[in-house]
Structure 1
Amino acid sequence: MVGKQKVNKYIPPLNFSPVISTEVSLYRSGYPMPINYSFIMDQLHLKTIVYVGDKNKISEEYLNFLKEQMIQFVYIPMESCRDDGINKEIDKVLEMIVNVDNYPMLIHSNKGKHRVGIIVGIVRKILQGWSIASIYQEYGLFSGGLKDEADLEFITMFISHLEVYKDKMPKFVRM
Protein backbone atom coordinates (compact mmCIF):
# COMPACT_ATOMS: atom_id res chain seq x y z
CA MET A 1 0.00 0.00 0.00
CA VAL A 2 1.53 3.26 -1.15
CA GLY A 3 -0.45 5.59 1.06
CA LYS A 4 -3.62 5.78 3.00
CA GLN A 5 -6.52 7.57 1.39
CA LYS A 6 -8.96 9.35 3.59
CA VAL A 7 -12.41 7.91 3.03
CA ASN A 8 -15.29 10.21 3.86
CA LYS A 9 -18.21 8.35 5.27
CA TYR A 10 -21.40 10.19 4.57
CA ILE A 11 -24.19 8.89 6.72
CA PRO A 12 -27.57 10.58 6.27
CA PRO A 13 -29.89 11.12 9.24
CA LEU A 14 -32.59 8.59 10.07
CA ASN A 15 -35.44 8.57 7.51
CA PHE A 16 -33.58 11.02 5.25
CA SER A 17 -35.08 11.65 1.83
CA PRO A 18 -35.39 14.43 -0.72
CA VAL A 19 -38.90 15.91 -0.82
CA ILE A 20 -38.27 18.34 -3.68
CA SER A 21 -35.17 18.31 -5.86
CA THR A 22 -35.96 20.61 -8.75
CA GLU A 23 -34.66 24.19 -8.76
CA VAL A 24 -34.65 24.07 -4.95
CA SER A 25 -33.81 21.26 -2.56
CA LEU A 26 -36.11 20.36 0.30
CA TYR A 27 -35.23 17.36 2.46
CA ARG A 28 -36.83 15.48 5.35
CA SER A 29 -35.28 13.43 8.13
CA GLY A 30 -35.12 12.48 11.76
CA TYR A 31 -33.01 14.41 14.26
CA PRO A 32 -29.44 14.71 12.94
CA MET A 33 -26.73 13.17 15.11
CA PRO A 34 -22.99 14.02 15.07
CA ILE A 35 -22.33 11.08 12.74
CA ASN A 36 -24.60 12.84 10.18
CA TYR A 37 -22.88 16.23 10.29
CA SER A 38 -20.37 15.57 7.49
CA PHE A 39 -23.22 14.40 5.23
CA ILE A 40 -25.21 17.55 5.98
CA MET A 41 -22.18 19.78 5.54
CA ASP A 42 -20.60 18.23 2.44
CA GLN A 43 -23.60 16.84 0.56
CA LEU A 44 -26.57 19.10 1.29
CA HIS A 45 -25.08 22.61 1.66
CA LEU A 46 -28.11 23.68 3.67
CA LYS A 47 -29.19 27.22 4.26
CA THR A 48 -32.05 26.42 6.65
CA ILE A 49 -33.02 23.64 9.06
CA VAL A 50 -36.51 23.56 10.54
CA TYR A 51 -37.02 21.31 13.56
CA VAL A 52 -40.63 20.36 14.28
CA GLY A 53 -40.53 18.46 17.52
CA ASP A 54 -41.16 18.09 21.17
CA LYS A 55 -37.59 18.33 22.44
CA ASN A 56 -37.25 21.73 23.99
CA LYS A 57 -33.62 20.95 24.88
CA ILE A 58 -31.51 21.02 21.74
CA SER A 59 -27.95 19.80 22.21
CA GLU A 60 -25.14 22.36 22.42
CA GLU A 61 -23.15 20.23 19.98
CA TYR A 62 -25.93 20.46 17.38
CA LEU A 63 -26.38 24.20 17.89
CA ASN A 64 -22.60 24.73 17.59
CA PHE A 65 -22.51 22.72 14.35
CA LEU A 66 -25.34 24.83 12.90
CA LYS A 67 -23.59 28.03 13.93
CA GLU A 68 -20.24 26.91 12.48
CA GLN A 69 -21.94 26.01 9.19
CA MET A 70 -23.97 29.24 9.22
CA ILE A 71 -27.20 27.29 8.85
CA GLN A 72 -30.32 29.15 9.89
CA PHE A 73 -32.11 27.08 12.54
CA VAL A 74 -35.82 27.40 13.28
CA TYR A 75 -37.44 25.42 16.08
CA ILE A 76 -41.21 25.04 15.86
CA PRO A 77 -42.55 23.18 18.91
CA MET A 78 -44.97 20.47 17.90
CA GLU A 79 -46.19 17.51 19.94
CA SER A 80 -48.79 16.01 17.60
CA CYS A 81 -51.61 16.93 15.25
CA ARG A 82 -53.88 17.00 18.31
CA ASP A 83 -52.13 20.10 19.76
CA ASP A 84 -54.06 23.32 20.15
CA GLY A 85 -52.73 25.89 17.73
CA ILE A 86 -50.98 23.38 15.48
CA ASN A 87 -52.46 24.99 12.35
CA LYS A 88 -50.52 28.18 13.14
CA GLU A 89 -47.33 26.18 13.69
CA ILE A 90 -47.76 24.36 10.38
CA ASP A 91 -48.42 27.65 8.60
CA LYS A 92 -45.06 28.89 10.02
CA VAL A 93 -43.33 25.88 8.43
CA LEU A 94 -45.19 26.44 5.15
CA GLU A 95 -44.11 30.11 5.15
CA MET A 96 -40.50 28.90 5.29
CA ILE A 97 -41.13 26.39 2.49
CA VAL A 98 -42.72 28.89 0.07
CA ASN A 99 -39.77 31.30 0.31
CA VAL A 100 -36.89 30.45 -2.04
CA ASP A 101 -34.54 32.45 0.18
CA ASN A 102 -34.57 29.54 2.68
CA TYR A 103 -33.24 26.87 0.31
CA PRO A 104 -31.68 24.34 0.42
CA MET A 105 -33.73 23.29 3.46
CA LEU A 106 -34.06 20.31 5.77
CA ILE A 107 -37.16 19.73 7.89
CA HIS A 108 -36.72 17.23 10.67
CA SER A 109 -38.49 15.85 13.68
CA ASN A 110 -37.16 13.35 16.21
CA LYS A 111 -37.49 10.23 14.04
CA GLY A 112 -38.65 11.73 10.73
CA LYS A 113 -41.94 9.87 10.78
CA HIS A 114 -45.14 11.46 12.05
CA ARG A 115 -44.57 15.22 12.51
CA VAL A 116 -42.46 15.48 9.36
CA GLY A 117 -44.92 13.14 7.65
CA ILE A 118 -47.71 15.61 8.39
CA ILE A 119 -45.66 18.52 7.04
CA VAL A 120 -44.68 16.65 3.86
CA GLY A 121 -48.25 15.42 3.39
CA ILE A 122 -49.53 18.98 3.59
CA VAL A 123 -46.84 20.16 1.16
CA ARG A 124 -47.89 17.41 -1.24
CA LYS A 125 -51.60 18.27 -0.86
CA ILE A 126 -51.61 22.06 -0.79
CA LEU A 127 -48.49 23.06 -2.69
CA GLN A 128 -48.20 20.22 -5.20
CA GLY A 129 -51.74 18.94 -5.71
CA TRP A 130 -51.04 15.27 -4.94
CA SER A 131 -53.93 12.87 -4.46
CA ILE A 132 -54.78 11.85 -0.90
CA ALA A 133 -54.07 8.19 -1.76
CA SER A 134 -50.51 9.06 -2.85
CA ILE A 135 -49.98 11.16 0.28
CA TYR A 136 -51.16 8.28 2.50
CA GLN A 137 -48.87 5.87 0.69
CA GLU A 138 -45.81 8.10 1.17
CA TYR A 139 -46.73 8.69 4.82
CA GLY A 140 -46.91 4.93 5.32
CA LEU A 141 -43.47 4.38 3.78
CA PHE A 142 -41.78 6.71 6.25
CA SER A 143 -43.82 5.69 9.30
CA GLY A 144 -42.85 2.06 8.82
CA GLY A 145 -46.39 1.11 7.90
CA LEU A 146 -47.70 2.48 11.20
CA LYS A 147 -50.24 4.89 9.84
CA ASP A 148 -51.58 7.18 12.51
CA GLU A 149 -55.22 7.65 11.54
CA ALA A 150 -55.36 11.02 13.34
CA ASP A 151 -52.37 12.26 11.31
CA LEU A 152 -53.89 11.13 8.02
CA GLU A 153 -57.24 12.71 8.88
CA PHE A 154 -55.43 15.91 9.87
CA ILE A 155 -53.63 16.06 6.50
CA THR A 156 -56.91 15.43 4.67
CA MET A 157 -58.81 18.13 6.56
CA PHE A 158 -56.00 20.72 6.86
CA ILE A 159 -56.76 24.17 5.48
CA SER A 160 -54.01 26.74 5.35
CA HIS A 161 -54.27 30.50 5.66
CA LEU A 162 -50.89 30.90 4.03
CA GLU A 163 -50.03 34.07 2.16
CA VAL A 164 -47.68 33.43 -0.74
CA TYR A 165 -45.48 36.08 -2.29
CA LYS A 166 -45.15 35.25 -5.98
CA ASP A 167 -41.64 36.71 -6.28
CA LYS A 168 -40.35 34.38 -3.51
CA MET A 169 -42.35 31.27 -4.43
CA PRO A 170 -40.42 28.18 -5.58
CA LYS A 171 -41.44 26.82 -8.98
CA PHE A 172 -42.68 23.50 -7.56
CA VAL A 173 -45.55 25.31 -5.79
CA ARG A 174 -48.81 24.90 -7.72
CA MET A 175 -51.01 27.62 -6.27
Structure 2
Amino acid sequence: MEIALGEFSSELYLLLLFHTILCILKFVLEPLYDEFDTLGVQRTSRNWQPFYSLPFLRYGVRRIIMSYFVPPCNYGMVEYDLSRSGQCHQLNFPFLERHNLKTVIYLSFDEPSQPFLSFLEDQGIDLIRPCQELAELQSQANSSMSEAEVLSALQVILSSQYYPLHVMCNFGHHRTGTVIGCLRKLQGWNLTAIFEEYRRYAGSKVRFLNEQFIELFDTDLVRIPVDHPNWL
Protein backbone atom coordinates (compact mmCIF):
# COMPACT_ATOMS: atom_id res chain seq x y z
CA MET A 1 0.00 0.00 0.00
CA GLU A 2 1.54 3.28 -1.12
CA ILE A 3 1.25 6.17 1.32
CA ALA A 4 2.11 9.70 0.23
CA LEU A 5 4.07 11.72 2.77
CA GLY A 6 1.86 14.69 2.04
CA GLU A 7 -1.08 12.83 3.61
CA PHE A 8 0.56 12.72 7.04
CA SER A 9 -0.75 15.16 9.60
CA SER A 10 1.48 17.63 11.44
CA GLU A 11 1.02 15.55 14.60
CA LEU A 12 2.57 12.53 12.93
CA TYR A 13 5.50 14.60 11.70
CA LEU A 14 6.13 15.73 15.27
CA LEU A 15 6.00 12.15 16.52
CA LEU A 16 8.46 11.03 13.87
CA LEU A 17 10.75 13.95 14.77
CA PHE A 18 10.53 13.04 18.46
CA HIS A 19 11.37 9.43 17.69
CA THR A 20 14.37 10.54 15.60
CA ILE A 21 15.62 12.75 18.43
CA LEU A 22 15.42 9.79 20.83
CA CYS A 23 17.49 7.68 18.45
CA ILE A 24 20.11 10.44 18.15
CA LEU A 25 20.29 10.86 21.93
CA LYS A 26 20.78 7.14 22.32
CA PHE A 27 23.63 7.19 19.81
CA VAL A 28 25.31 10.16 21.53
CA LEU A 29 24.72 9.32 25.19
CA GLU A 30 25.18 5.55 25.22
CA PRO A 31 29.02 5.79 25.17
CA LEU A 32 28.87 8.18 28.15
CA TYR A 33 26.78 5.74 30.18
CA ASP A 34 29.21 2.96 29.32
CA GLU A 35 32.12 5.15 30.44
CA PHE A 36 30.39 5.86 33.76
CA ASP A 37 30.13 2.12 34.32
CA THR A 38 33.83 1.71 33.56
CA LEU A 39 34.74 4.42 36.09
CA GLY A 40 32.63 2.75 38.74
CA VAL A 41 29.93 5.41 38.88
CA GLN A 42 26.93 3.88 40.65
CA ARG A 43 23.48 4.36 39.20
CA THR A 44 20.73 5.46 41.58
CA SER A 45 18.66 2.30 41.19
CA ARG A 46 19.28 -1.32 40.37
CA ASN A 47 16.66 -1.08 37.62
CA TRP A 48 17.84 2.32 36.37
CA GLN A 49 18.01 2.79 32.63
CA PRO A 50 18.42 5.77 30.26
CA PHE A 51 15.20 7.71 29.70
CA TYR A 52 15.29 7.08 25.96
CA SER A 53 15.16 3.32 26.46
CA LEU A 54 12.12 3.24 28.74
CA PRO A 55 9.84 0.54 27.28
CA PHE A 56 6.62 2.47 27.89
CA LEU A 57 8.04 5.48 26.01
CA ARG A 58 9.09 3.43 23.00
CA TYR A 59 5.80 1.52 23.04
CA GLY A 60 3.72 4.69 23.30
CA VAL A 61 5.45 6.41 20.39
CA ARG A 62 5.26 3.32 18.21
CA ARG A 63 1.60 2.72 19.08
CA ILE A 64 0.61 6.28 18.14
CA ILE A 65 2.58 6.16 14.89
CA MET A 66 1.26 2.73 13.90
CA SER A 67 -2.34 3.81 14.52
CA TYR A 68 -2.06 5.84 11.33
CA PHE A 69 -1.58 2.58 9.43
CA VAL A 70 -4.23 0.33 11.02
CA PRO A 71 -7.23 -0.04 8.68
CA PRO A 72 -10.55 -1.60 9.76
CA CYS A 73 -11.04 -5.34 9.23
CA ASN A 74 -11.61 -6.36 5.61
CA TYR A 75 -10.65 -2.89 4.40
CA GLY A 76 -10.22 -2.41 0.67
CA MET A 77 -10.47 0.15 -2.10
CA VAL A 78 -13.35 -0.42 -4.51
CA GLU A 79 -12.80 2.54 -6.81
CA TYR A 80 -11.23 5.97 -6.51
CA ASP A 81 -12.57 7.63 -3.31
CA LEU A 82 -14.76 4.56 -2.65
CA SER A 83 -13.70 2.09 0.05
CA ARG A 84 -15.20 -0.77 2.07
CA SER A 85 -14.63 -2.54 5.39
CA GLY A 86 -16.11 -4.16 8.45
CA GLN A 87 -16.78 -2.37 11.75
CA CYS A 88 -14.45 0.50 12.62
CA HIS A 89 -12.88 0.73 16.07
CA GLN A 90 -11.01 3.53 17.80
CA LEU A 91 -7.64 2.20 16.66
CA ASN A 92 -8.82 2.68 13.04
CA PHE A 93 -10.01 6.28 13.41
CA PRO A 94 -6.65 7.95 12.55
CA PHE A 95 -6.46 5.82 9.40
CA LEU A 96 -9.97 6.81 8.32
CA GLU A 97 -9.37 10.45 9.19
CA ARG A 98 -6.61 10.65 6.58
CA HIS A 99 -9.13 9.75 3.85
CA ASN A 100 -11.25 12.88 4.43
CA LEU A 101 -14.49 10.91 4.14
CA LYS A 102 -17.71 12.76 3.41
CA THR A 103 -20.18 9.86 3.77
CA VAL A 104 -20.37 6.42 5.38
CA ILE A 105 -22.97 3.85 4.28
CA TYR A 106 -23.71 1.61 7.27
CA LEU A 107 -25.38 -1.62 6.13
CA SER A 108 -25.67 -3.41 9.47
CA PHE A 109 -28.88 -3.65 11.52
CA ASP A 110 -26.81 -3.27 14.71
CA GLU A 111 -26.47 0.20 16.17
CA PRO A 112 -23.09 1.84 15.50
CA SER A 113 -20.87 2.16 18.57
CA GLN A 114 -20.91 5.47 20.42
CA PRO A 115 -17.18 6.12 19.82
CA PHE A 116 -17.75 5.63 16.09
CA LEU A 117 -20.74 7.99 16.07
CA SER A 118 -18.69 10.58 17.96
CA PHE A 119 -15.88 10.20 15.43
CA LEU A 120 -18.27 10.77 12.53
CA GLU A 121 -19.71 13.85 14.23
CA ASP A 122 -16.27 15.29 14.99
CA GLN A 123 -15.17 14.79 11.37
CA GLY A 124 -18.41 16.09 9.86
CA ILE A 125 -19.07 12.75 8.12
CA ASP A 126 -22.66 11.92 7.14
CA LEU A 127 -23.99 8.49 8.15
CA ILE A 128 -26.49 6.80 5.82
CA ARG A 129 -28.30 3.62 6.91
CA PRO A 130 -30.31 1.99 4.09
CA CYS A 131 -31.61 -0.67 6.51
CA GLN A 132 -32.87 1.75 9.14
CA GLU A 133 -36.08 2.65 7.31
CA LEU A 134 -36.85 -0.99 6.56
CA ALA A 135 -38.02 -1.85 10.07
CA GLU A 136 -39.97 -4.89 8.95
CA LEU A 137 -36.72 -6.59 7.95
CA GLN A 138 -34.96 -6.17 11.28
CA SER A 139 -35.91 -9.66 12.40
CA GLN A 140 -34.05 -11.00 9.37
CA ALA A 141 -30.71 -9.36 10.16
CA ASN A 142 -28.76 -12.53 9.35
CA SER A 143 -30.44 -13.16 6.01
CA SER A 144 -29.26 -11.98 2.63
CA MET A 145 -30.00 -8.39 1.69
CA SER A 146 -33.26 -7.30 0.14
CA GLU A 147 -33.49 -5.71 -3.27
CA ALA A 148 -34.73 -2.46 -1.70
CA GLU A 149 -31.66 -2.21 0.54
CA VAL A 150 -29.25 -2.80 -2.33
CA LEU A 151 -30.98 -0.27 -4.58
CA SER A 152 -30.98 2.30 -1.77
CA ALA A 153 -27.25 1.80 -1.16
CA LEU A 154 -26.43 1.92 -4.87
CA GLN A 155 -28.27 5.21 -5.34
CA VAL A 156 -25.87 6.76 -2.82
CA ILE A 157 -22.78 5.06 -4.29
CA LEU A 158 -23.67 6.26 -7.79
CA SER A 159 -23.94 9.92 -6.78
CA SER A 160 -20.67 11.89 -6.71
CA GLN A 161 -22.04 14.35 -4.14
CA TYR A 162 -21.41 11.77 -1.38
CA TYR A 163 -17.73 11.22 -2.15
CA PRO A 164 -15.25 10.33 -0.66
CA LEU A 165 -17.46 7.43 0.42
CA HIS A 166 -17.01 4.40 2.67
CA VAL A 167 -19.27 1.30 2.74
CA MET A 168 -19.31 -0.95 5.80
CA CYS A 169 -21.19 -3.64 7.73
CA ASN A 170 -20.33 -5.84 10.71
CA PHE A 171 -17.43 -7.77 9.18
CA GLY A 172 -17.36 -6.46 5.62
CA HIS A 173 -18.28 -9.94 4.35
CA HIS A 174 -21.85 -10.38 3.25
CA ARG A 175 -23.92 -7.22 3.18
CA THR A 176 -21.06 -5.07 1.93
CA GLY A 177 -19.99 -7.86 -0.43
CA THR A 178 -23.50 -8.13 -1.86
CA VAL A 179 -23.77 -4.40 -2.55
CA ILE A 180 -20.31 -4.22 -4.10
CA GLY A 181 -21.07 -7.35 -6.15
CA CYS A 182 -24.19 -5.69 -7.59
CA LEU A 183 -22.14 -2.57 -8.29
CA ARG A 184 -19.60 -4.67 -10.19
CA LYS A 185 -22.41 -6.19 -12.23
CA LEU A 186 -23.60 -2.69 -13.06
CA GLN A 187 -20.03 -1.90 -14.16
CA GLY A 188 -20.13 -4.82 -16.59
CA TRP A 189 -17.88 -7.25 -14.73
CA ASN A 190 -18.40 -10.94 -15.54
CA LEU A 191 -19.71 -13.19 -12.77
CA THR A 192 -16.41 -15.04 -12.37
CA ALA A 193 -14.59 -11.82 -11.46
CA ILE A 194 -17.46 -10.66 -9.23
CA PHE A 195 -17.55 -13.91 -7.25
CA GLU A 196 -13.76 -13.98 -6.95
CA GLU A 197 -13.82 -10.56 -5.30
CA TYR A 198 -16.74 -11.52 -3.05
CA ARG A 199 -15.01 -14.74 -1.93
CA ARG A 200 -11.72 -12.95 -1.32
CA TYR A 201 -13.37 -10.86 1.39
CA ALA A 202 -15.79 -13.54 2.66
CA GLY A 203 -13.12 -16.23 3.03
CA SER A 204 -14.63 -19.39 4.50
CA LYS A 205 -17.90 -17.52 5.23
CA VAL A 206 -19.11 -17.53 1.62
CA ARG A 207 -22.91 -17.64 1.32
CA PHE A 208 -24.47 -19.16 -1.78
CA LEU A 209 -27.59 -17.01 -1.32
CA ASN A 210 -25.51 -13.84 -1.67
CA GLU A 211 -23.91 -15.08 -4.88
CA GLN A 212 -27.31 -16.09 -6.20
CA PHE A 213 -28.69 -12.65 -5.34
CA ILE A 214 -25.87 -10.97 -7.27
CA GLU A 215 -26.36 -13.29 -10.25
CA LEU A 216 -30.11 -12.61 -10.44
CA PHE A 217 -29.90 -8.89 -9.63
CA ASP A 218 -31.59 -6.82 -12.34
CA THR A 219 -29.36 -3.83 -13.12
CA ASP A 220 -32.19 -2.23 -15.12
CA LEU A 221 -33.79 -1.32 -11.78
CA VAL A 222 -30.90 1.02 -10.97
CA ARG A 223 -31.35 4.67 -11.86
CA ILE A 224 -27.99 6.15 -12.77
CA PRO A 225 -27.84 9.85 -11.81
CA VAL A 226 -26.34 12.53 -14.00
CA ASP A 227 -23.54 13.22 -11.49
CA HIS A 228 -22.31 9.61 -11.42
CA PRO A 229 -18.58 8.93 -10.78
CA ASN A 230 -16.22 8.89 -13.76
CA TRP A 231 -15.38 5.20 -13.32
CA LEU A 232 -18.96 4.08 -14.12
TM-score over 0.5 for the pair: yes
Taking only aligned residues, the RMSD between alpha carbons, in angstroms, comes to 1.9
In structure 2, distance between residues paired with 1:148 and 1:59: 26
In structure 2, distance between residues paired with 1:136 and 1:95: 22
Displacement of 1:140 in angstroms is: 0.8
Map Cα deviations across residues 126-147 of structure 1 (whole Å, 9 max, x no partner): 1x10000111111111001432
Match of 1:48 among 99, 103, 116: 103
Match of 1:62 among 108, 113, 116: 116
Higher helix share: 2
Task: Note if 1:37 corresponds to 2:97.
Answer: no
Partner of 1:163: 223
In structure 1, distance between residues paired with 2:143 and 2:82: 22
In structure 1, distance between residues paired with 2:164 and 2:195: 25
Task: Note if 1:112 corresponds to 2:184.
Answer: no
In structure 2, distance between residues paired with 1:91 and 1:172: 19
Q: How many residues align?
A: 164
Map Cα deviations across residues 15-42 of structure 1 (whole Å, 9 max, x no partner): 0000002xxx110100101110000002
**Alignment check: 8 A CA contact 1:13 1:29 kept:** yes
| Rg larger for | 2
Higher strand share: 1
Partner of 2:148: 88
Displacement of 1:104 in angstroms is: 0.8
Task: Note if 1:8 corresponds to 2:27.
Answer: no
Displacement of 1:122 in angstroms is: 0.5
Normalised by the length of structure 2, the TM-score is: 0.66
* 4+ runs deviating over 6 angstroms: none
Displacement of 1:3 in angstroms is: 3.7
In structure 2, distance between residues paired with 1:138 and 1:145: 13
Residues 18 and 108 (structure 1), Cα distance of their counterparts in 2 relative to 1, 3 Å cut: same
Partner of 2:130: 76
Task: Note if 1:102 corresponds to 2:162.
Answer: yes
In structure 1, distance between residues paired with 2:102 and 2:82: 11
Secondary structure, aligned partner of 1:19: strand
**Alignment check: 8 A CA contact 2:103 2:127 kept:** yes
**Alignment check: 8 A CA contact 2:172 2:201 kept:** yes
- % same residue: 27
Normalised by the length of structure 1, the TM-score is: 0.86
Structure 2: unaligned runs, 5 residues or longer: 1-19, 24-57, 132-136
Secondary structure, aligned partner of 2:171: coil
Task: Note if 1:141 corresponds to 2:200.
Answer: yes
Secondary structure, aligned partner of 1:53: coil
